[in-house]
Structure formats: structure tokens, C-alpha cells
Chains A and B, each alone.
Chain A
Amino acid sequence: MSFLKQEWKKLVGIIGVFLACFYLPLGWPRFDNAVFESLHLVKWYAREHVLLCLVPAFFIAGAITVFLSQASVMKYLGARANKVLAYGVASVSGTILAVCSCTVLPLFAGIYRMGAGLGPACAFLYSGPAINILAIILTARILGLELGIARAVGAVLFSILIGLIMHFLYRKEELQKADAQMMMPPPQVSRPLRQNVILMGLMIGILVFANWARSGDVRAVFLCCPGGLTTYTMEGTIVRQTEQQVLLKDRTGTEHIIPAEQIQQVSPVEKNVLYEAIYKIRWGLTIGLLVLLIGLVLLWIDKEERIHWLQSTWGYAVQILPLLLFGVLIAGFLLGRVGHEGLIPSVWIQKAVGGNSVWANLFASVAGAFMYFATLTEVPILQGLIGAGMGKGPALALLLAGPALSLPNMLVIRSIMGTQKTVVFVSLVIGMAALCGMIFGAFF
């Protein structure tokens, strides 16, 4: 019987998969459509985002790990660090320290037990996943620049606030610091900071120019989604126009078919001369910067470090691409592309998180806090939700509460700082995320 004891989980799994296949609802239109939607979305990502956006982003992430000294940042989060400075550093250091989400929790535990204490540790835990470089790039690219910036700024500001509140609530408590000494990687052979800044700047320049989108000719405001509960603004170029519908190509190159009766207003976009000029020569700029970058890399960086850089870039790609593919498939299946429906009816989503009410923001932030998002998958899922009618405020609330917390990582956090503090922290995160979402939603 010991055989059964070991293997029962697999057996249950196999039976589950079998039943799912047995009752696969093929032929049910909504299901078939959802399958196609998920494939369409994957294709769109592959065409529009992988080469120009993700590949440079992986190189930047790899460079951050190799070129920038994590140890020098940790110095400001140590036990004897300046307390005021520690909050500031903790709130922004996620960009450098949390390049991969799996490093966030050990660092959080370390800052709490061996370093600057509860406040900075909580600040780091909240902002880290939101401002890691890959997350910012992908959010800005797919969900729009304003949401990308709001996410980064919101995460940094609110992380300091949450850290201070946690510190204030537990200020009387004397923590028995772990007596272990902080073990740090030896500082790398350092290049002058100037060189690192130039290399990073070049890579970010390549990323920006390669993705320079054509500005649209028109801005259209139309009623969104079945029922037309919300309006949606889109900038783009009109490709084709008939009595019944308009084919609009938006700035990311996606084509949208909008029924004529839903369109409320169309106005021409004022052209910015500089913006248009850059658009015309974007490939020249990109290639020029690329050549310059390669030259400087050969000149400044020795062979060993170059290999190390390639290895960590490759490491991120291998780790994140499968997760992202899976995330995009699921998001497409459940929610469909913008303007199309997946398995879940858009009406449900509009009811739950449409508009910018307190309820919608709170719901989005609670859902985000408990749900588990693998690295970066929050982006396609959110894209689907926004396409189905989620408001921008609740979207930000979910972006802020989501990656910082999930049920599994709450359990780990609990084992580090106890049940009571965890409950307080989680409630603060949910409250702040909802508040932040409401503020954002009121303006955009």
C-alpha cells in the first residue's frame, strides 16, 4: 500500500486531466472562439512585442545584474544604515535588486532580520515587483505609457507610506536581530560609473527608438463593449471606412473594427514635428546606437564579463518566456483580445471592475492581492481585462496589489514576521492600492 501512498497525487491528477479531456466542450461556440482568441493573442505578442521589446529588455535586465553592484545598494539597507535614507533606497532599489521576482522574498527577509528593519523591508516588498525593469518596460509598452508610469510612481510613493505606517505601528517592538552577519557578494571589479551609465543609456535608447510608434491621424471616441457602458478613446489611422463600420489601425499596429453606430466623436490629431521626424529616422537611430553600443562593449568590457552578461540575459529569457507564453494563452482564452470576447463574458467584468467606483477598485485590489501572477503575466491578463471593460483605476489597483502579494507568498511572509504583522501589511497594501487606483482613475 505504500505504493499508493506515494503515487496518489499523480493518480488524482491523471483522473482530473482525463475528465477534463472527456468533457472537453468542443463545438460550444464560446469555447471554440476562446481557443482561437488565445492563439490570436499569442500571435499578436509574437509579432509586435517579442523582437523589439522583450529582447532588448532581457539584455537590459542582464546588464543590470552583471554591471551594477548589488552589494553597494545593500550597504544602504544594512543594520547601521541611515534610517531616512533606508526608506528612500528601499523604495527604488527594486529596479536593481529585484530583477527577478524570486529574489524579492529573501531580500525582504534579510532587510527585516539583519538590515534596516521592518519599515524599509515592507517598502521594498511592496515596490520591488512593480518597479523591476522588465515589468515597467512591458507595462508601458502594452498597457500604455501613462499606466506604466503610474505603476512605477504609485509603487514608489505608496511603498514609503506603507513602510512608515508599519514602522509606526510596531515602533515599540524590539526585534531580536538575527546575529548572523550579512553575507554579501564581493564587490565586482568596478568600471567608472560614467561608463555604466552610458551603456545603460544606449540600451534604453535602442529600446525606445526601436519601439517609436507612428502617431495616429485621428482620435476616435467610441462606446465600448456590449452594452456600451464605458467609452474608449483610441488614437490611430483610419484604414477603411464604410457605412456600417470603420477599420482603425491603432498605434501598436493592431487593427480594430468598430461598428459605426458606436463611434461618438472623431477628431484629427495635431502632429508634433519632432515626433514625426524621429519616427521617420527611427531605424537609422536604432542601428546607430546599436553599433555604438557594440563598439563600447568591446572596448570597455572584458571577455569574462561579456560572457557573464550573455548568460544572465539568457537566464532571464529561459525563465520568463515560457511563463509569459502560458500567461498570454490563458489571458487570451479567458478574456480575448481587445474588442473580442473570450470565455468570460465582458458584461461580468464590467459589472465587477468597470468604471472607477470604490467597490470596483477594492475588488480589483483584493483579487490582485490573493491571486498569484507569475513574473510579467499580470500584463497580458490586465490587457484582457481592460479590453473587456475594466476601468483604468481598478487596473492600476490590481497592478499595485497583484505582483507584490499572492496567497503563497503571504504564507512565506507570515513565517518571517508573524501572523499579526502580515495581516496588517496585507490590509495596508489592499487599501493603498485601491486608493491609488481611485486617484488615478479620477484623472485618466
Chain B
Amino acid sequence: MKKIQILGTGCPKCKKLAENAEIAAKELGIEYQIEKITQINDIMKMGVMMTPALAVDGVVKVVGKVVSPEDIRTMLV
């Protein structure tokens, strides 16, 4: 079970990143759970100040940009 966290205050880029992460996880066929972190203080707690960001199992993998589903796939395995 992978926990994917999308960090962002709700801007269009954050939504795009969440979509891409979902696509990647579905393609891999793994068990996953997506959590959106929108509270700015919670985002800070993870050390992120450039949104959108993506974390897998609590480890921040991407900061400040939208990445493609292919790129996210390599982060999930």
C-alpha cells in the first residue's frame, strides 16, 4: 500500500499533479491511497514551500512543478 500525498493550496497545477499521480498508480496496478494536503501549515511541516509537491510514503519526491505520469511511475516502484 503506497501513500501518495499531493501538497498544494488548490491551484490548477496541484490538480494536474494529482491527476497524473492517479494515472501513474492505476497503470502500475498497485494498491494506493491519495491524500491532498491543502493546509499551508501542514505543507510547511513537510519542508515544502514551492507548490505543487508530491510525496510518496511521507518522503517528498517532487517540489515546485508538475511531472508526467511516466516520471511518477518510477517514484512509485
Contact = CB atoms under 8 A, between A and B. Distances in A.
Interface of A: 70, 74, 100, 102-103, 105-107, 109-111, 113-115, 178, 180-185, 315, 318-319, 412, 415-416
B47 A102 contact: no
Contacts of B64: 70, 184-185
30 contacts: A70-B50, A74-B50, A102-B11, A102-B51, A103-B50, A106-B48, A106-B49, A107-B50, A109-B41, A109-B44, A109-B49, A113-B44, A114-B47, A114-B49, A115-B49, A178-B47, A180-B45, A180-B46, A180-B47, A181-B47, A182-B47, A183-B49, A184-B63, A184-B64, A185-B62, A185-B64, A315-B12, A319-B11, A319-B12, A416-B41
Contacts of B63: 183-185
A318 B46 contact: no
Contacts of A183: 46-49, 53, 60, 63
Nearest to A180: B47
Task: Give the residue among B11, B13, B40, B43 with the most A Cβ atoms within 10 A.
Answer: B40
Given A178-B44, A183-B60, A100 B11 contact: yes
Interface of B: 9, 11-13, 40-41, 43-51, 53, 60, 62-65
A318 B46 CA distance: 29
B65 to A, nearest CB: 7
A180 B59 CA distance: 12
A100 B13 CA distance: 11
Contacts of B48: 106, 110, 183
A421 to B, nearest CB: 15
Contacts of B49: 74, 106-107, 109-111, 114-115, 182-183
Nearest to A102: B11
A178 B40 contact: no
A401 B50 CA distance: 24
Contacts of A113: 44
A226 to B, nearest CB: 42
A107 B40 CA distance: 10
A180 B40 contact: no
Contacts of A182: 47, 49
Most B CB contacts (10 A, CB to CB) among A100, A106, A416 go to: A106
Contacts of A412: 40
Given A106-B9, A416-B41, 19 more contacts: A70-B64, A74-B49, A74-B50, A103-B50, A105-B9, A109-B40, A110-B49, A114-B47, A114-B49, A181-B47, A183-B47, A183-B49, A183-B53, A183-B60, A183-B63, A184-B63, A185-B50, A185-B65, A415-B40
Contacts of A111: 49
A412 B12 CA distance: 19
Contacts of A416: 40-41
A183 B65 CA distance: 13
A319 B47 CA distance: 27
A415 B9 CA distance: 14
Contacts of B50: 70, 74, 103, 106-107, 110, 184-185
Nearest to B13: A315
Give the residue among B46, B49, B53, B63 with the most A Cβ atoms within 10 A.
B49
A110 B47 CA distance: 8
A319 B15 CA distance: 13
Contacts of A184: 50, 63-64
Contacts of B47: 114, 178, 180-183
